């Protein structure tokens, strides 16, 4: 019988009342929509056999990526997860380079050598999605050390899921970040599932208690409300950059799709999945926008523009070249080519 995870907690009570302007929120909405449309398109491309390998979609979790990134600049760095499309796009990875990579083209930002689980764009501080659960925490830890040592006004962000919390590396990294007061923001995307098993069957502790053990401030955030996520990030990022030490944002969110595309999710109660629609990050933002006076035309225009951008990028990607084997072989080491 399918197991139902606990309903994620609602909005962060500490979120400031101010919030973004209508224009700012509309911009965030467009980014949410960009991630959503890009991933929905990937889903169909995958089932059509155009995208090889394994892909893990973050549909339902877009507000975490977009909200956190709204508080970051190009100098800030992020380390991502296997479910990293949203992180890459929200951090500024161009859609053409993104789709070209997912379609295994030479024009992909990783030249068709990484694919979905390794999308990266160093030029915008996106240090890579990662196929190893929890590994991104230590990459971000090192990036934070570099920011501090080189005196940069920047922070590093480690994204990880609740499934990673059972990895020993989480303990090592939180201890070190707190001990050395590194400019590191830990962002847990708690979607209630670690692969095919609910969090309740994987963890005997709460992240809030773990963070407290290291003396790291922890904040529970409604991860499906981009305004709440952005506010939480804006509340902690300047202090982290200024040297106050790490913080943890635990973003309660929803994994709508399977662990990977093609996962029929037989282990999940269909009612649970259906109920997620009420917490759809796009719906929550659209309702907020409506409350601020936006009309359907605003949202439709955004949808059309996003749709066009995604399709244009996909067209470019489809026309790309296949990667050259000799060039790849010559590029294992620097300067060997």
Partner 1 sequence: MTELRYIRAVNMALADAMEADPTVVLIGEDVSEAGGAFGASRGLRERFGEARVLDTPISEGAIAGMAVGAAMSGLRPVLEIMFMDFTTLVMDAMVNQAAKARFMFGGQASVPMVLRTPHGGGLGAGPQHSQCLEAWFAHVPGLKVVCPSDPASAYGLLRAAIDDPDPVVVIENKALYAMKADVEGTPPVLPIGKAVIRRAGTDATVVAYGAAVRTAIAAADTLAERGVSVEVLDLLSLQPWDEAAVLASLSRTHRLVIVHEAVEAFGIGAEIAARMAQIGFDELDGPIMRVGAPFMPVPFSKGLEDAYLPSAAGVVRAIEKTME
Binding residues (CB under 8 A) for partner 1: these are 77, 79, 101, 108-114, 118, 120-123, 127-128, 130-132, 135, 137-147, 149-150, 156, 168-169, 172-173, 175-176, 179, 328, 331-335
Residue 42, SS3 per DSSP: helix
Residue where the block lists tokens 């491309």:
45
Closest contact distance (angstroms) between CB of 227 and partner 1 is 30
At closest approach, how far in Å is the CB of 46 from partner 1? Answer: 20
Whole-number minimum distance, CB 337 to partner 1, in Å? 9
**Measured from the CB atom, is 277 or 327 closer to partner 1?**
327
**CA–CA gap between residue 336 and residue 201 (Å, rounded):** 48
Determine the 3-state secondary structure of 89 from DSSP.
Answer: helix
The CA distance from 168 to 135, in Å, is 10
Cα–Cα dist 90/84, whole Å: 10
Find the shortest distance in angstroms from Cβ 254 to partner 1.
29
Instruction: Kindly state the smallest distance separating residue 120's Cβ from partner 1, in Å.
Output: 5
Closest distance to partner 1 from the beta carbon of 87 (Å): 15
Q: Considering beta carbons, is residue 27 or 169 the nearer one to partner 1?
A: 169
- If DSSP codes are grouped into helix, strand and coil, which group holds residue 62? helix
Closest to partner 1 by CB, 63 or 141: 141
How is 194-250 classified by DSSP, letter by letter?
A: ETTEEGGGT-SS-HHHHHHHHT-EEEEEETT-HHHHHHHHHHHHHHHHTTS--EEEE
User: How do 193-194 and 197-198 pair as beta strands?
Assistant: antiparallel
Q: In this structure, how many other beta carbons lie within 10 angstroms of the beta carbon of residue 26?
A: 18
Distance CA 330, CA 311 (A): 33
* Residue 105 vs 218, nearer CB to partner 1: 105
The tokens of 273 are what? 């999945």
| Of residues 33, 41, 127, the one with CA closest to residue 77 | 127
Which CB, 17 or 150, lies closer to partner 1? 150
Residue 114 vs residues 47, 68, 69, 93, 304: alpha-carbon distances, Å: 20, 24, 23, 15, 30
Residue 123 or 312: the one with the smaller Cβ distance to partner 1 is 123
Query: Closest distance between partner 1 and the C-beta of residue 110, in Å?
Result: 4
Q: Give me the sign of the Cα torsion angle 269, 208, 235, 153.
A: negative
Residue closer to partner 1, measured from CB, 142 or 246: 142
Cβ nearer to partner 1, comparing 130 with 285: 130
Query: Residue 7 Cβ, how far from partner 1 at the closest point, in Å?
Result: 33
């Amino acid at each position: 019988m399918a197991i139902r995870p606990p309903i994620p907690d609602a909005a962060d009570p500490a979120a400031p009342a101010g919030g973004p302007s209508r224009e700012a929120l509309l911009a965030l909405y467009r980014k949410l929509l960009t991630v959503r449309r890009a991933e929905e398109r990937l889903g169909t491309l995958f089932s059509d056999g155009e995208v090889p390998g394994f892909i893990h979609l973050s549909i339902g979790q877009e507000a975490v990526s977009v909200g956190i990134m709204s508080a970051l600049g190009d100098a800030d760095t992020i380390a991502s997860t296997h479910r990293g499309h949203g992180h890459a796009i929200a951090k500024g990875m161009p859609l053409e380079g993104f789709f070209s990579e997912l379609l295994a083209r030479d024009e992909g930002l990783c030249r068709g050598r990484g694919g979905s689980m390794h999308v990266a764009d160093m030029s915008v501080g996106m240090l890579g999605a990662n196929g190893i659960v929890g590994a991104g925490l230590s990459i971000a830890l090192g990036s934070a050390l570099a920011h501090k040592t080189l005196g940069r006004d920047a922070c590093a962000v480690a994204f990880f899921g609740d499934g990673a919390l059972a990895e020993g590396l989480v303990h090592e990294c939180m201890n070190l970040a707190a001990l050395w007061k590194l400019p590191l923001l830990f962002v847990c995307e708690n979607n209630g599932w670690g692969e095919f098993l609910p969090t309740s069957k994987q963890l005997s502790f709460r992240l809030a208690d773990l963070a407290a053990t290291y003396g790291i401030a922890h904040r529970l955030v409604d991860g499906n409300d981009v305004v709440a996520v952005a506010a939480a990030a804006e509340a902690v990022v300047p202090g982290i950059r200024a040297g106050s030490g790490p913080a943890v944002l635990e973003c309660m969110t929803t994994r709508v799709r399977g662990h990977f595309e093609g996962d029929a999710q037989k282990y999940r109660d269909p009612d649970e999945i259906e109920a997620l629609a009420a917490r759809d990050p796009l719906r929550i933002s659209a309702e907020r926008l409506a409350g601020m006076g936006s009309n359907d035309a605003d949202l439709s225009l955004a949808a059309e523009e996003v749709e066009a951008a995604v399709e244009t990028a996909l067209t470019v990607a489809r026309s790309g070249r296949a990667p050259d084997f000799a060039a790849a072989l010559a590029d294992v080491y620097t300067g060997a080519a």
